[in-house]
Amino acid sequence: MIEKIFVEEGIKKVRMDEYFQKELERAGYGGMDIKRTPMGTQITVHVEKPGMIIGKNGKRIKKVTDEITKRQELDNPQIDVQPIAAPELSAQLMSNRLAKLIERGWHFRRAGRSTLQRIMGAGALGCEITMSGKLRGPRGRVEKMVEGYIKHCGSVAEEIVDKGYSIAKKKTGVIGVMIWIVAPDANIPDSFRMKVVKETGVEKANAEEAKVEEVKVEEVKVEGAEEKEEE
């Protein structure tokens, strides 16, 4: 019974994501987050151009909210629009752009390399682009491009890797585009940094005094050794 509820919630989320991708394409849709609250369902939509969603006097956002209510997918939906600070670091937004480039006739390798360069140029620690489908010829194949640091499994991958997926529709068939991005501020567990500590004037003076004392002690030991040899 519990498994059935989880499956139904996942299907609803996929439907909402597909609706937003189609409805908010021009605004630069970059993904969403759904959170249940006592007052209803909070939907946080991440877009590149928030003004295009809100519209004049909030008419556009009201229309979208009414459409979601009619679908009866979520209880009392409340949409919160958040701008994307760095579009090149949004995996969903970049996967949508890459899919559009392929639909316009760009060669998949050229489109993939261009997207990879833009993402890494924005400061990403790592990026992986996977394109699958009828890329060239009647048979399906998979093309993968990787640069930088990428984690594929474990809790660390879930925390630091931003994932996006989109579909490019062509005459020969559909091409799946998946992009994984590790943000510049991601906390990588197996990384370390050297901390440089600058000595103050007092610390330098104390260090010099300690060296002088060590020299004096060595001189005393040497003199004592010479006296024993003379005896």
Q: What is the CATH number of the domain that holds 12?
A: 3.30.300.20
**CATH number, domain with residue 139:** 3.30.1140.32
Chain position carrying tokens 């567990």: 189
Number of domains in the chain: 3
| Claim to verify: residue 105 and residue 73 sit in the same structural domain | no
| pLDDT value at residue 60 | 79
Q: Are residues 99 and 166 in the same domain?
A: yes
| Residue 140: DSSP 8-state | -
Task: Point out the least confidently predicted range of 64-78, 116-130, 163-177.
Answer: 64-78
Residues 76 and 102 in one domain: no
On whether both 77 and 94 belong to a single domain, the answer is no
Hey, is 88 helix, strand or coil?
helix
The answer on 178 and 113 residing in a single domain is yes
Averaged confidence pLDDT in the chain: 80
Helix (H) or strand (E) holding 7: helix 2-23
Assess if residue 68 is contained within a domain: yes
Report helix, strand and coil shares of the chain as percent, to nearest 5: 50, 25, 25
Whether residue 45 is found in the same domain as residue 64: yes
47's enclosing H/E stretch is strand 40-47
Q: Identify the CA nearest to 135 among candidates 94, 179, 172, 98.
A: 172
Residues 80, 92, single domain; the answer is no
Note whether 123 and 148 are same-domain residues: yes
* Rounded mean pLDDT, 155-169: 87
Cα 47 to Cα 11, 15, 21, 57, 59: the distances in Å are: 22, 18, 10, 18, 17
Same domain, 107 and 137: yes
157 located within any domain: yes
- What pLDDT score does 205 carry? 58
Residue 227 structure tokens: 């006296």
End residue of a domain, out of 54, 69, 84: 84
Nearest residue to 43 (alpha-carbon basis) of 26, 25, 24, 59: 24
Q: Of 70-79, 87-96, 210-219, where does mean pLDDT reach its minimum?
A: 210-219
Q: What is the mean pLDDT of residues 108-116?
A: 93
Instruction: Name the more confident of 158 and 56.
Output: 158
What percentage of the chain has pLDDT greater than the value 90?
21
Spatial distance between the Cα atoms of 176 and 168, rounded to a whole number of angstroms: 6
The residue from 84, 119, 148 where one domain ends is 84
How does residue 228 score in pLDDT terms, banded at 50, 70 and 90? very low
Among 38, 65, 84, the domain-final residue is 84
Q: Give the predicted TM-score (pTM) of the model.
A: 0.71
More confident residue, 72 or 46: 46
> What is the pLDDT averaged over residues 194-213?
61
- 108 lies in the same domain as 122: yes
96 and 178, same domain (yes or no): yes
Q: Is the pLDDT of residue 207 over 70?
A: no
Residue 165's domain comprises: 88-182
Supply the pLDDT for residue 222: 47
Q: Do the Cβ atoms of 178 and 165 come closer than 8 Å?
A: yes
Q: Is residue 189 part of a domain?
A: no
Q: Is residue 188 part of a domain?
A: no
Q: Do 111 and 77 reside in the same domain of the chain? A: no
- Confidence label for 178 from pLDDT (cuts 50, 70 and 90): very high
Segment of 9-13, 110-114, 183-187, 226-230 carrying the highest mean pLDDT: 110-114
Q: Which residue has the tokens 């409340």?
A: 78
